[in-house]
Amino acid sequence: MKVMVIGPRGKMGKLITQVAAGREDMELSAAVGPKGGEYIGKDLGTVAMVGRDLGIPVTDNLEDVIDSCDVIIDFSTKEMAMQVLDAAIAHKKALVCGTTGFSQEEMQRFCDAATEIPMLYAANTSKLVNIMNKLLEIVTETLKDEIDIEILEMHDQWKKDAPSGTSKEMGEIMAHALGKELKDIAVYGREGASPRETGTIGYHSLRAGNIPSSHTVYFGGMGERLEITHHSYNWECFARGACDCAAYLADKGPGFYTIKDVLNL
């Protein structure tokens, strides 16, 4: 499988490149950076700190290299991701997207693309996070209105969107387990006189230092509390998961796939 990486200097793009370069089932064919980026033209191995040259110059022209790949892995920005999506559709290339912060209308474009290409969207590609999502679904379906649900998520100071895409996905899973839509029951932070409304899901976002990723869901009952937490020590687990997602698309036709399909959850 020939793989193209978008944003190879980014924290995720760099690690995805390193992981893909070490896999026997993958061949890096191209990498695309932002227009006019200072590393454009440099070898991908140098840009992503692989430890050796890969013989692949990083370009800022997606159209020049897109036909060299079988699948695109994109963890860049939401602005760049929309351009990549359009190009993937036009050239009928499989796409793994892990970028977050999209509006509902933008997410619908990814869903619509699945009629033409193998499309895998994953807000979080960690195996353990997605197993945690399964646990959240089980707890919520079992207890329903007996518990109050609060989500605390922590990320580094550079993360642009809040709440995180991962915590939104967690909230959607639990809202659906309650037979509701997250947009109707989500509460974002509290200030002053704001008593808790039964059946809501509370969100609290922390941004500090270089915290990689941390999500805790609190299930509050009377006289007891259940906490389910995931901490990532670095971003390597997400990069490995992203490459697993790309490998999963190797023999797939057009369709909308998720990390649940990859992990058979």
- Just list the catalytic residues: 155, 159
Cβ atoms of 42 and 68 within 8 Å: the answer is no
- Cα 147 off chain centre by: 28
- For residue 3, the cross-strand partners are 28, 71
Residues 109 and 89 sit within 8 Å (Cβ to Cβ)? no
- On whether the CB atoms of residues 87 and 63 are closer than 8 A, the answer is yes
Burial of residue 264 (CB within 10 Å: 0-12, 13-18, 19+) is exposed
Cα-to-chain-centroid distance, residue 226: 26
CA angle 219, 258, 123 (to 5 degrees): 60
* Residue 256, beta-bridge partner list: 119
Per DSSP, the three-state class of 162 is coil
